[in-house]
Structures are given as C-alpha cells and as structure tokens.
Amino acid sequence: MNYTNIEILTKIQEGDLKVYKSLFKEYFNDLVQYAEGYVFDIEVAKDVVQEVFIYLWENRETVKVKYFKTYLYTAVKNKCLHHINHLNVRDKHKVFLINNYLELNDDSIEYDPDVIKQVKIALDSLPKEMKKVFRAKYIYDLTIPEIAEDLDVSVNTVKTQLKRARAALRNRLFNQ
C-alpha cells in the first residue's frame, strides 16, 4: 500500500473497503504475534486483533489516526491489557466462590447445586498436598510462611503449590 497515513484515513473514512482490507492484510499477522506476547493464546490474540479492526471500521468516520501502525499496536496492547484485567477479576470471583463453598455452614444460603458440585469436584481433583496448601490459605486464612512452617516445606514450595492449585481450579472450572 503506497498511501500516506492521511490518504489511508481519508479513504477508510469514505468507506473504501479495498484500502481497509489492504491495511488488515498488511498488519494482521504481526499484530496477532504482538498480542500473543500479552495473552499467551493464539486464538485470543486473533480475536483481539479482529476486534480492533472491527472497531476501526465501525468508527471510521470519527476515529482520529495520525499514524496507523502506532494506532493499531496501541489499540491491540490496550485490548490485551483489558482482557488480562478481565481474567484477573474472573479469577478473584472464582476464589470468592470457592471460599464461600468451603466455608459453607449455613444451610439457609442457597447456592446453585451445579456450581457447588463443580467446585467440589475441582477441589477434590487436586493432589493431596496441593489441596492441603490451598485449604490452609483459603479456608484457614494462614499466611504463606505459616503454611510453610506447618507443613515443613519451603515458602517457595507453598507459593508454587498455590499457583498450581489456582491454575488447576481455573482450568477445571472455566475451561470445560
């Protein structure tokens, strides 16, 4: 594509699909590779880049772009960070759900039986030692050094077990 940024913007704002497709072809693969460096999932990376291009097309009349390459990479980066932030929020909700289930003593509280069953199965699927570490942290609210001392393992072992437990539960509960 041998257009200046201003010419590209003008043609896209006028609805020139040929120029838009050309821009897409020129940057798509590089942007997917860039996005994958943030999200570590090729399919999510492709979705992020496609969302950026869809946004550009749908908002072509109002989008102000001085340099397309800079705009596209910045938009992809921001979308990736938003995706990561969303995952962190989802993980926090999951831990909250697990904590509530594990501490469930009040029969008057109604929980979705399917969700409770899934959480129980996910927790039961953890290896014995990992389950001990997870319960010590999230049920008994012990600190990592306290868990390490109680189980006679290193602090790093506790951190690793917690990280693996969270990943296993995340995978089991949300990637079914």
- Same domain as 166, residue 112: yes
pLDDT in tens, the chain (176 residues): 678 888 888 999 999 999 999 999 999 999 999 999 888 889 989 999 999 999 999 999 898 888 889 999 999 999 988 887 776 655 665 666 665 655 544 444 455 667 667 777 888 888 888 888 888 887 777 888 988 988 888 999 999 988 888 888 877 777 65
What pLDDT does 111 receive? 54
Rounded Cα distance between 38 and 46, Å, is 12
Long-range contacts, 68-73 (Cβ 8 Å, 24+): 68/5, 68/8, 68/9, 68/23, 68/27, 69/27, 72/27, 72/31, 73/31, 73/34
Domain ranges, residue 115: 106-174
Q: At 161, which CATH number?
A: 1.10.10.10
Query: What pTM does this model have?
Result: 0.52
Q: Does the residue 140 lie in any domain? A: yes
